[in-house]
Amino acid sequence: MSETMQDSGVEWIGEIPIGWKVDSLKRLLDEPLKYGANEAAELDDRELPRYIRITDFNHDGLLKDDSFKSLPLEKAAGYYLKNGDVLFARSGATVGKTFIFYGEDKSACFAGYLIKASTNRHLLSPEFLYFYTKSPAYDMWKSSIFTQATIQNIGADKYAYLPIIMPPIFEQQAIAQYLDERCGKLDSIIAIKKEQIQTLDALRQSIIYQAVTKGLDDSVELVDSGVEWLGEIPKGWKVRKLKYITKQIVDGTHFTPTYVETGVPFLRVTDIQTESIDFESIKF
């Protein structure tokens, strides 16, 4: 062990700098963890408090504007968010996903499948907590929770004991500011790359469409395909329904299977990627 490092006391965290601590989340809060409102998202009145649900934010920490929903004042009461509150998703495919709220001058409340953590800012910086939940340490903790449970669900009782690595508060703030700046630059680069990928994807689709509907000979005579959305096709080509040129078309099982450690690979929609099958997550 380095002279500047010490054992954290948590196996999957390992060593931490001397002077840092590890404590449970519940001991670093201003108030107990709280579940959101169990109300239907029916209104979209922007004069009312925004009703934040799991589906309203992505892993990039940004709220979607096109999914805005609101709650009446009487239903939002008791579930308001203040700047710096961190929300944790407690179930479903996005369990463990987090969001830090900065509403500025706009009021907002949160839904029942989310859990609110309001930190004691003398002990834990909310920004540091948020970045901590984007780290492999947090992922390893989630994996340890899932190993113990039959379903992927992390309630307030489990989040309360989330081990938080704690530098001194001034160092937490410096780390959060550093990460905000560095990650902001990386996010900008990622956004540019995504836009470039979308452009290349569109070009790829255009090339494929041209080849499979018009062929490789630009000088060939085109004729009406008889299908409105298909348009013209090369003379001599035909259009046939799939059922006439395949041996069989069937769908899969209509029951929930019992999975085993080894056996026949059972292909699900979630196993199919854009260009391949995800054999890492496949079940048997």
* Residue tagged 């019992």 (tokens): 258
* Average pLDDT for the chain: 91
Identify the residue with better confidence: 252 or 173.
173
Q: Which range (56-65, 69-78, 247-256) has the least confidence?
A: 56-65
- At 17, the pLDDT band (50, 70, 90 cuts) reads very high
Does residue 210 have a pLDDT over 60? yes
- At 272, the pLDDT band (50, 70, 90 cuts) reads confident
* Widest CA span in the chain: 79
Provide the whole-model pTM: 0.74
DSSP 226-241: S-TTT-EEETT-----
Residues 6 or more apart whose Cβ sits within 8 Å of residue 59: 97
Q: Give the pLDDT score at 45.
A: 93
Question: In whole angstroms, what is the distance from residue 60 CA to residue 64 CA?
Answer: 11
- At 149, the pLDDT band (50, 70, 90 cuts) reads low
